[in-house]
């Protein structure tokens, strides 16, 4: 065991004190003498409680709570109570200190927040989601005090900033959870800078190659972009100074994650990303003049540069539901390049950067009614004691939509709803009873069905009938979590009575097979019959949709069901797979020593040798191997991180994998011949199919081909890119 020299300890003490002073510096204008004493006490308690602990990087653990407290104060703008809670956020979970100790020293408010930040304890198996249970507990406290979620976001941000020394499996789990829940949550609470950083860091670990590539391209073009931005801003600066504005103006780098999404979703190259160039103009002006002055700046910018009429976003007249106010336009700058210009005031900028916290500061003039409504909706979601934690997590995520639209009632009242919401969602926005009895709607005086998707600026009148009641089909098109949870509750009331009968039938059938009705067996039957919840399974049994004839094919061991194998292979050994996941062992694909572990390659992303992959334990089919960039990876790792198995390829078997490549370019005579010549002639690869579609001089081809690994695939793609007239060559996710 290594010993730490006294010099090191002295150095560490200095570092800890330096971090503590940085925290106090951020709070100096925002705390009383009594609060200063309490912060000192919290700091001393945290130092003492964590004194034996170190982080994976080797630094003293206390640095983590100190940095979290700094984020809460400096980057979120919260005060002393939040700083105290941030300093103590891990003590109950990781040390001898109890919630009673916290309550005695700091009062019930701090104790409740710390309790909300403490993970759910208990034994969980493969069939439950610890992440979902923890998240639900966290949000139960959020309903009382929003600071609990802000500290959790700050905790997550610091963990993401310092994740390099963690094992790969943990990096994937934490990064996926961050992209799935915490980044959208930061966005919903208005912390734009934090949201962007969380997304970038999430991508750094889930899609490392793409992240490094874009970061490298941004670094290479930084000097040229800076020169261009200065050239672009110079005439604007001169005009605004001449007009007597007090302002700041600077170039704003686009986040790597947003650039990647545009490249992926729009099929464009790095150089073609629409608004790689962005500037922000922040004016210092009294509250009464804000709107007029922002439009004056807009007028100046658009006199100097031509605007794109489709790219004007006015969040000043109608702020977003999280309080975000800003005026965005995209203009054509010198050398034919699009530049996004954001115009806002100092107050608006503080709300954009410090989100929820800034709302309390600017309560009089700001739009925090919408945030209060959102918190009320969360309380409603949480009120249902039978709410399944996973279902809750999914419905809650629907509340974190990035994009919103503005619609009006017949009397002209403005409502903000998520993009993609339907007429029925709108009915539930007005009142639950209106939603239950809705039979149709008039949008802009024209009759539309319940499933009609609303657009910006629509005026909506809801038509109701007392005879109408919720039905299951509604869940196929409802978008908002409020509407979905209300409909689910209404349907569950009817279903519960039938499901109770179904449960009795199931219990009797299991007893006759010498099996018990406990959670694990229930989960196996849910998977076997493809039912999402136990209520649904019992309901289908109650309605005789599921007759349970297949139970005779199940094995039984000490009351536990053993699912019938889909083929003649031996059944999946769940205990062995659980051990593989918890021991942090590594699964070597195509390793002869592991022939007794059942695994297969996932069809949703078709991994091939060389791809960055992970194993996911399924109940019936052993381990499924997915790419870390699989479209389903983020959700799987967020909900079931403990079912992830570290996985690596071995080259023991010479196997060819089917993969797909998409080629676009300018139509040319003999094109198919040239493509097949490269694949079959030059590279001697087997091709399954080749589809070419040419229209108006442009072709799009899909090639399905067998390759041994990513190196071979990259070589093929590079050869295709060198063909005359080819514009882009990309790998297809699915085949």
What pLDDT digit, counting tens, does each position of 270-279 carry? 777 655 788 9
Lowest model confidence (mean pLDDT) among 121-125, 163-167, 389-393: 121-125
Phi, psi of 486 (to 5 degrees): -65, -45
C-alpha distances in angstroms, 381 versus 58, 133, 358, 374, 396?
A: 42, 14, 26, 11, 8
From 411, 440, 471, the end of a domain falls on 471
Domain containing residue 232: CATH number: 3.30.460.10
Residue 109 domain flag: yes
Report the pLDDT averaged over residues 168-177.
86
- The residues with which 438 forms a beta bridge, in sequence order, are 464
Phi, psi of 245 (to 5 degrees): -80, 145
Do 600 and 591 contact (CB within 8 A), yes or no?
no
CA–CA gap between residue 131 and residue 133 (Å, rounded):
6
300 and 413 housed in the same domain: no
Query: Tokens 């297809």 belong to which residue?
Result: 732
Using the 8-state DSSP alphabet, how is residue 318 labeled? S
pLDDT at 584 over 50: yes
Higher pLDDT, 496 or 236: 236
Report the pLDDT averaged over residues 606-610.
84
| CB neighbourhood size of 632 (10 A) | 14
Query: Tokens 């239950």 belong to which residue?
Result: 436
> Which of 515-521's residues contact partners 24+ apart within 8 Å by CB, and which partners?
515/554, 515/556, 515/559, 515/560, 515/561, 516/559, 516/560, 518/559, 519/125, 519/127, 519/128, 520/125, 520/127, 520/560, 520/561, 521/559, 521/560, 521/561
For 497-511, what is each residue's pLDDT tens digit?
Answer: 888 899 999 988 888
Do 137 and 123 contact (CB within 8 A), yes or no?
no
Q: Which residues are catalytic?
A: 93-94
Report the pLDDT averaged over residues 28-43.
89
Residue 476 domain flag: no
663 and 711 housed in the same domain: yes
From 554, 589, 610, the end of a domain falls on 554
Angle in degrees, CA 566, 569, 574, rounded to 5: 80
pLDDT at 551 over 60: yes
For 333-356, what is each residue's pLDDT tens digit?
Answer: 998 888 999 999 999 998 888 776
pLDDT at 126 over 50: no
Percent of the chain exceeding pLDDT 90 equals 25
Residue 598 domain flag: yes
Higher pLDDT, 383 or 83: 83
Instruction: Name the 3-class secondary structure at 506.
Output: helix
409 and 454 housed in the same domain: yes
- The residues with which 718 forms a beta bridge, in sequence order, are none
pLDDT at 7 over 50: no
pLDDT of the residue at 583 = 54
Give the total number of structural domains in the chain: 6
Higher pLDDT, 272 or 712: 712
Instruction: Name the 3-class secondary structure at 316.
Output: coil
Residue 426 domain flag: yes
pLDDT at 377 over 90: no
Global pTM exceeds 0.75: no
DSSP string for 390-448: HHHHHHHHGGG-S-EEEEE-TT--EEEEETT-BHHHHHHHH-HHHHHTEEEEEETTEEE
Torsion of CA 587, 592, 595, 596, to 10 degrees: -80
273 and 421 housed in the same domain: no
36 and 93 housed in the same domain: yes
Instruction: Name the 3-class secondary structure at 515.
Output: coil
pLDDT of the residue at 384 = 58
pLDDT at 569 over 50: no
pLDDT at 733 over 70: yes
Domain containing residue 673: CATH number: 3.30.70.260
Lowest model confidence (mean pLDDT) among 270-284, 440-454, 560-574, 717-731: 560-574
Nearest-CA neighbor of 100 among 116, 86, 112?
Answer: 112
For 418-459, what is each residue's pLDDT tens digit?
Answer: 888 999 999 998 999 999 999 999 999 899 999 999 988 889
Query: Tokens 């940095």 belong to which residue?
Result: 67
pLDDT of the residue at 365 = 41
Q: Cβ contacts of residue 676 below 8 Å, gap of 6+? A: 687, 690
620 and 685 housed in the same domain: no
Query: Tokens 């097949």 belong to which residue?
Result: 676
Instruction: Name the 3-class secondary structure at 667.
Output: coil
Residue 452 domain flag: yes
438 and 496 housed in the same domain: no
Task: With cut-offs at 50, 70 and 90, classify the pLDDT of residue 232.
Answer: very high
427 and 513 housed in the same domain: no
pLDDT of the residue at 565 = 66
Task: With cut-offs at 50, 70 and 90, classify the pLDDT of residue 362.
Answer: low
Lowest model confidence (mean pLDDT) among 134-138, 397-401, 569-573: 569-573
For 65-81, what is each residue's pLDDT tens digit?
Answer: 999 999 999 988 888 89
CA–CA gap between residue 64 and residue 69 (Å, rounded):
9
DSSP string for 196-236: HHHHHHHHHHHSHHHHHHHHHHHHHHHHHHHHHHHHHHHHH
Residue 389 domain flag: no
For 527-547, what is each residue's pLDDT tens digit?
Answer: 888 887 788 889 889 988 888
Do 275 and 339 contact (CB within 8 A), yes or no?
yes
CA–CA gap between residue 404 and residue 456 (Å, rounded):
9
Task: With cut-offs at 50, 70 and 90, classify the pLDDT of residue 603.
Answer: confident
CA–CA gap between residue 638 and residue 132 (Å, rounded):
8
| Residues making up the chain, counted from first to last | 735
pLDDT at 598 over 50: yes
Helices 147-161 and 168-177 sit at what angle, rounded to 10 degrees?
Answer: 140
Residue 397 domain flag: no
Do 395 and 481 contact (CB within 8 A), yes or no?
yes
Which helix (H) or strand (E) element contains residue 659? strand 657-666
Domain containing residue 448: CATH number: 3.10.20.30
Percent of the chain exceeding pLDDT 70 equals 83
Strand 657-666 and strand 698-707: pairing?
antiparallel
Do 296 and 345 contact (CB within 8 A), yes or no?
no
pLDDT at 573 over 60: no
- Burial code (b: 16+ CB inside 10 Å, e: under 16) for 177-214 equals bbbbbbbbbbbbbbbbebbbbbbbbbbbbbbeebbeeb
Q: Cβ contacts of residue 585 below 8 Å, gap of 6+? A: 645, 646
Task: With cut-offs at 50, 70 and 90, classify the pLDDT of residue 137.
Answer: low
Helices 63-70 and 6-27 sit at what angle, rounded to 10 degrees?
Answer: 20
30 and 151 housed in the same domain: yes
Do 663 and 647 contact (CB within 8 A), yes or no?
no
Using the 8-state DSSP alphabet, how is residue 679 labeled? I
pLDDT of the residue at 292 = 95
pLDDT at 368 over 70: no
From 364, 395, 421, the end of a domain falls on 364
Instruction: Name the 3-class secondary structure at 104.
Output: helix
Q: Which two tokens stand for residue 251?
A: 């170039």
Q: Which two tokens stand for residue 20?
A: 């503590």
For 198-214, what is each residue's pLDDT tens digit?
Answer: 999 999 999 888 899 88
CA–CA gap between residue 5 and residue 12 (Å, rounded):
11
Q: Cβ contacts of residue 732 below 8 Å, gap of 6+? A: 659, 660, 661, 662, 702
Nearest-CA neighbor of 725 among 677, 634, 664, 658?
Answer: 664
CA–CA gap between residue 716 and residue 660 (Å, rounded):
11
The rounded mean pLDDT for the chain is 82
For 399-418, what is each residue's pLDDT tens digit?
Answer: 665 578 888 888 888 888 88
Range of the domain at 354: 217-364
598 and 693 housed in the same domain: no
Residue 402 CB-half CA count within 13 A: 10
Task: With cut-offs at 50, 70 and 90, classify the pLDDT of residue 517.
Answer: confident
pLDDT at 32 over 70: yes
Report the pLDDT averaged over residues 470-493.
86
- The residues with which 728 forms a beta bridge, in sequence order, are 664
15 and 148 housed in the same domain: yes
pLDDT of the residue at 385 = 53
CA–CA gap between residue 732 and residue 603 (Å, rounded):
12
Residue 669 domain flag: yes
Task: With cut-offs at 50, 70 and 90, classify the pLDDT of residue 570.
Answer: very low
591 and 449 housed in the same domain: no
Do 573 and 621 contact (CB within 8 A), yes or no?
no
């Amino acid at each position: 065991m290594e010993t730490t020299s006294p010099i090191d300890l002295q150095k560490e003490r200095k570092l800890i004190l330096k971090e503590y002073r940085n925290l106090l510096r951020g709070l100096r204008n925002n705390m009383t003498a009594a609060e200063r004493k309490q912060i000192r006490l919290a700091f001393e308690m945290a130092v003492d409680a964590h004194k034996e602990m170190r982080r994976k990087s080797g630094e003293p653990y206390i640095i983590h709570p100190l940095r979290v407290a700094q984020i809460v104060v400096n980057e979120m703008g919260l005060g002393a109570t939040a700083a105290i809670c941030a300093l103590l956020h891990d003590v109950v979970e990781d040390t001898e200190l109890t919630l009673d100790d916290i309550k005695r020293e700091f009062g019930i408010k701090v104790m409740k927040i710390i309790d909300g930040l403490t993970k759910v304890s208990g034994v969980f198996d493969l069939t439950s989601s610890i992440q979902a249970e923890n998240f639900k507990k966290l949000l139960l406290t959020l309903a009382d005090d929003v600071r609990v979620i802000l500290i959790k976001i700050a905790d997550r941000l610091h963990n993401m900033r310092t994740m390099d020394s963690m094992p790969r499996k943990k990096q994937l789990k934490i990064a996926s959870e961050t992209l799935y829940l915490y980044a959208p949550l930061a966005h919903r609470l208005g912390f734009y800078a934090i949201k962007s950083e969380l997304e970038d860091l999430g991508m750094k670990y889930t899609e490392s190659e793409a992240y490094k590539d874009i970061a490298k391209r941004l670094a290479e073009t930084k000097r040229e972009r800076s020169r261009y931005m200065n050239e672009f801003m110079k005439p604007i600066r001169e005009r605004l100074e001449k007009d007597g504005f007090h302002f700041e103006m600077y170039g704003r780098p686009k986040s790597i994650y947003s650039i990647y999404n545009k490249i992926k979703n729009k099929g464009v190259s790095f150089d073609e990303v629409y608004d790689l160039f962005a500037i922000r103009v922040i004016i210092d002006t009294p509250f009464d003049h804000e709107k007029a002055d922002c439009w004056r700046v807009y007028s100046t910018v658009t006199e100097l540069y031509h605007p794109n009429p489709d790219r004007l976003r006015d969040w000043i007249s109608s702020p977003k539901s999280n309080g975000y106010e800003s005026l965005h336009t995209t203009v054509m700058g010198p050398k034919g390049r699009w530049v996004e210009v954001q115009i806002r005031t100092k107050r608006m900028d503080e709300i954009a950067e410090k989100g929820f916290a800034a709302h309390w500061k600017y309560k009089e003039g700001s739009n925090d009614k919408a945030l209060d409504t959102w918190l009320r909706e969360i309380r409603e979601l949480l009120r249902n004691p039978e709410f399944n934690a996973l279902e809750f997590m999914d419905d809650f995520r629907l509340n974190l939509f990035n994009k919103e639209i503005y619609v009006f009632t017949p009397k002209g009242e403005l409502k903000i709803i998520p993009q993609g919401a339907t007429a029925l969602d709108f009915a539930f926005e007005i009142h639950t009873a209106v939603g239950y009895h809705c039979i149709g709607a008039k949008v802009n005086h024209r009759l539309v069905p319940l499933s009609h998707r609303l657009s910006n600026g629509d005026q909506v009148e809801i038509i109701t009938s007392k005879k109408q009641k919720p039905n299951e089909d509604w869940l196929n098109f409802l978008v908002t979590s409020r509407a979905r949870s209300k409909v689910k509750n209404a349907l569950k009331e009817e279903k519960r009575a039938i499901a109770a009968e179904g449960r009795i039938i199931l219990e009797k059938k299991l007893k006759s097979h010498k099996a018990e009705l406990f959670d694990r067996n229930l989960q196996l039957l849910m998977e076997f019959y493809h039912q999402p919840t136990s209520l649904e399974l019992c309901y289908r049994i109650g309605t005789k949709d599921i007759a349970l004839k297949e139970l005779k094919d199940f094995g039984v061991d000490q009351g536990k069901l053993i699912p019938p194998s889909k083929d003649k292979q031996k059944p999946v050994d769940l205990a062995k797979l659980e051990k593989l996941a918890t021991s942090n062992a590594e699964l070597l694909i195509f390793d002869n020593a592991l022939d007794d572990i059942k695994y297969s390659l996932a069809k949703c992303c078709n991994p091939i040798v060389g791809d960055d992959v992970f194993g996911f334990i399924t109940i019936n089919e052993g381990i499924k191997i997915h790419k870390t960039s699989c479209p389903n990876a983020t959700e799987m790792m967020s909900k079931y991180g403990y079912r992830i198995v570290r996985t690596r390829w071995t080259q023991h078997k010479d196997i060819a994998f089917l993969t797909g490549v998409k080629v676009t370019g300018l139509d040319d005579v003999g094109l198919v011949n040239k493509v097949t010549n490269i694949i079959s002639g030059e590279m001697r690869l087997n091709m399954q199919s080749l589809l070419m579609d040419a229209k108006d001089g442009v072709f799009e081809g899909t090639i399905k081909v067998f390759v041994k690994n990513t190196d071979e695939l990259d070589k093929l793609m590079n050869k295709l890119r060198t063909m005359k007239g080819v514009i882009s060559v990309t790998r297809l996710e699915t085949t």
